[in-house]
Amino acid sequence: MNSMMIRTLLVVLLCTTGKPAFSQFGGSGILEGEAGTVSGNGTVVIKKTPAVMRMQIDLLSKASSLKEALAGLKERIEATRAQLAAFGADKASIKLGEPKLSAGKSDRQQQMEALLLERMKSLNRGKTQKKNAPTSPVTVSVQLSVEWKLKAKTVEELLLTTHPLQKKIKDADLGGLKAASKLSPEEQEIMEEMGERAMYGGDGEAKPGEPVFSFASPISQEEEDKALAEAFQKARSQASRLSKAAGYELGKLNSISSDAGSSGEENEYGYRSAYYSVARSLYSAENSEDSQAEAVSVLPKQVKYHVTVTAGFELKEK
């Protein structure tokens, strides 16, 4: 069917039915002269001052044998508990993972070392191997998380409270990063080959043993229910405007769904930042079925919780 015939048919349909011709073909979800559907979205943002500051850190222990490394890790855990109590942490909030073997380095550092070691081996093939070559040290780690309850009412108070505390924690080297960073002769050789910049700079990753902080505030059922109701009204209002723009009236509700969570802030750090992965894990875990709904952030500022409702309605002809 050519374009001239289509235009002629559209004019005939409009004249004989008195309805927009496109409605006869379902071009906007309308079939056989019956109205289709329209949907709208509504979002409400709950803003709160953080109620807690959380810290996540890998505690490290490095020794010449696994047994010594595990013994050192046990001592570090006890020393960390004492330091956290001195810093005013909530003792009941302390959580420990399972001990595991650790390289004590970021994934990128390990990859670069592996490539360099392979290159060094290829260069040394056929050469007499050194006797009594030093064995690589063993590093073990355990992940610890802990909370501090906050009483700040404003962002200014929040900064004045948390910034000095974070500095004290970093200076205390709870994770044992300084001790774990001492190099064996083998590691020293690798460091010289790679250069310090390649080993520890420029990849945006946090070193194992460095603390990473986040902020959170719980969202009550009442707060979320109120936000859902407001978001629905916004969705209905948007759907109503759309239906009027199309020349119809809003009919009965036929579908509804919702989504809720904190807004992503990882772009403020960039994809290569250590805080990016932390932010993603926080946002994915904050609203699991067995957890309290929370507004979370990796930044010391107001936390935001977004509640979005999508509602679909039938269209009625005027």
Q: What is the pLDDT of residues 204-216, one digit of tens each?
A: 456 788 999 999 9
Closest to 94 measured CA to CA, from 110, 108, 105, 78: 78
- Greatest Cα pair distance in the chain: 100
Residues 6+ apart with CB under 8 A from 129: none
All structural domains of the chain with their residue ranges: 15-48+219-317, 52-123+133-214
Q: Which tokens hold the place of 292?
A: 């309290």
pLDDT digits 0-9 by tens, 299-310: 999 999 999 999
What's the distance, Cα to Cα, between the start and end of the chain in Å? 33
Q: With beta carbons less than 8 A apart as the criterion, state whether 21 and 8 touch.
A: no
pLDDT at 86 over 50: yes
pLDDT digits 0-9 by tens, 172-190: 999 988 877 766 565 565 5
Percent of the chain predicted with pLDDT > 90: 54
Superfamily (CATH H level) for 15-48+219-317? Protein of unknown function (DUF541), domain 1 (3.30.110.170)
pLDDT digits 0-9 by tens, 15-72: 333 444 333 333 333 333 456 899 999 999 999 999 999 999 999 999 989 999 999 9
Q: Is the pTM of this model over 0.85?
A: no
Cα 151 to Cα 5, 52, 53, 273, distances in angstroms = 74, 8, 11, 29
The pLDDT of residue 15? 37
The pLDDT of residue 106? 53
| H or E, element range at 92 | strand 90-96
